Structure 1
């Protein structure tokens, strides 16, 4: 029965993407089918095999060690602020982003990260039927972040037609950056974070290939990556340390605002309607939770977590999931955890449009116009990834 629901889920996702397609006659079905098979294969490999367990355990141990190193710096500066045995969210989850940002800067400085991004992007372009620029951008988004990635291709931003620009922005919204992966792993199981990172990469190509199909002329398929301004090693360290701290502060500020706002709205709805706002959203999103493979008895609560992620951000939704995870089966936890690992929410529209506008005002306005379509596609990517995972859980 689970397989039947998962197949229905795939059909629903593809149907919703097809409805929004800008050029249905130009959809390339062969690459889509290949990428679906690749997604299922990766999901099974990472979640159901000893090899996958070894890979995920290794990645988890690396991030655990990185978080330990980060804790030594945090303890030096903020030691004594928390009571014995307490673990404030800002100190344990957000501030380690600073250290991981530094590591990304080092790999960037020594040209290690750009090499891997170009190589993997080139390999993906052979599978997804898209251009080299689009493939590189998807990998780069997952490694350096949804706003920073546009800086690396700023030489081409102004020359891109709207359809290619949409694909670049969709990739940025469908993935998450490596700098905050460690933060996710402190809240949900690392195996689902790793699985989502890989599956979302292909899911972004699949949904974009349906919603926004086009063919790139080989003469126009040129990848020009902007080299960072030459800096000394310690200049680079200072820049990435500050960038990481800014991210931590921004996420913290957004959490304060969103969590407080959600609490207030919930309380207001309970007083007026005798039901919380999140419960109402849960009923709205329950059908999507069902086609993702969530058992019927758990779809309303799962739908509430999904809706919270969409209207606020993934951190708020993950905090909600941690609070109610005992109410869910392992299958539901896996499906919802994978759904949460992406930047698909309303605030990302402003972040991405602002990042592009900072580089090219005209193109930034173009992005703002198709902002809701971006969110629609990125949300379908999250649903698709969860459906794929439901096949193997």
Structure 2
């Protein structure tokens, strides 16, 4: 039954995307079907094929070792007995890891490692999907860096991109999370294996969803481009790369911390108001989480989540869309152990993306600064990109649940 409901969920997601398409007759079935097969193959390889799962387990173990090295840096600055004294805290156990991994990614880009990885995988997607080289490389870049940094890979091409290409770049940014932030989620207790799988699935998934909602109808530039930044902006040595990455990570960590303080406080305020209003009518449990849970529970159910857990899962999906994914993951970790393994998997995949309403402003500010001439297009396409990214995350969750059920 769970498998059947999951299949209905996939069909529903496709139907929504097609209904939102601005040119259904121009949809390239080869691109869509190939992208979906790649997306499904990644899920099957990790969640259904034992050998694939074992390989990723080794990768996760290696990544966890790297995280431990980052924790050594945290202990050096804040003291090794900090957790024993204060317990686990986001401020000291999660946010500093973002700084460490941002610096590490900066070094890997300085050494040219990430450019080669992005270029190879982006080239494969370009050939397999018949999408442009620029949008394919940008989609792969989003696996490793944030949705304001990934477009730097194709910065020289943004101004001349077609509407479909620009939309694909924006959708790819909304459908993924930054590698450094991913490590922060892992520190909180979110399953790193699922986060990595979801991020890789999102690259072909975002191109698929973008080409359904806004198919290509214009000629595009096919020149390859795999540089992260212009030479003038590149660090002069590895020490500057480390410093630049650390500063970038610090800005991200501070922004996340400030956002959590503001949002959590305001949500408690809103819940206080809602509880008071509900009390007037004899309903004591009225909260934002309750409202979101009931609004999004049908979506969770279509992903195969048992109806008994659909309200909890739906609330988390709603929090991710209305607030942001970091807050949703914090809420998820608090109730994770009370959910079934299937629901834990589906929720982890469904939340793994930047697709929330605040991303519209982030895209306009970040991407608009890189390509000022496209600000009007970015503003016009922002909401559609968030919807597209959300559909990618839901499709990832549905596919993951499908193969998990077949085990």
TM-score bin (small chain): over 0.9
Deviations 1:251-281 (A, max 9, x none): 1111111111222212221221231121111
Does the CA-based 8 Å contact 1:174-1:378 persist in structure 2?
yes
Matched residue, 2:230: 227
Alpha-carbon distance change, 289 to 135 in structure 1, aligned in 2, over 3 angstroms: same
Secondary structure at the residue paired with 2:177?
A: coil
Matched residue, 1:391: 402
Matched residue, 1:35: 35
Matched residue, 2:281: none
Deviations 1:279-335 (A, max 9, x none): 111111011111111111111111101111111111111111111123311111110
Deviation at 1:41, TM superposition (A): 2.4
Counterpart CA distance in 2 for 1:65 and 1:175 is 23
Query: Which of 353, 356, 373 is the aligned partner of 2:367?
Result: 356
Matched residue, 2:305: 294
The correspondence of residues 1-393 of structure 1 with structure 2, limited to 5 A, is 1-79=1-79, 83-84=84-85, 86-186=87-187, 187-215=189-217, 217=219, 220-224=221-225, 225=227, 226-228=229-231, 229-230=233-234, 231-273=236-278, 274=284, 275-393=286-404
Deviations 1:53-97 (A, max 9, x none): 322222221222122111121112112655536121121111111
Secondary structure at the residue paired with 1:153?
A: helix
Gaps of at least 5 residues in structure 1 are none
Secondary structure at the residue paired with 2:131?
A: coil
Secondary structure at the residue paired with 1:344?
A: coil
Does the CA-based 8 Å contact 2:137-2:153 persist in structure 1?
no
Secondary structure at the residue paired with 2:94?
A: helix
Does the CA-based 8 Å contact 2:143-2:200 persist in structure 1?
no
Count of residues in Structure 1 that have an aligned counterpart in Structure 2: 392
Gaps of at least 5 residues in structure 2 are 279-283
Deviation at 1:215, TM superposition (A): 4.9
Give me the TM-score of the superposition, normalised by structure 1: 0.95
Deviation at 1:232, TM superposition (A): 2.2
When the two chains are superposed, the root-mean-square deviation of aligned CA atoms in Å is 1.7
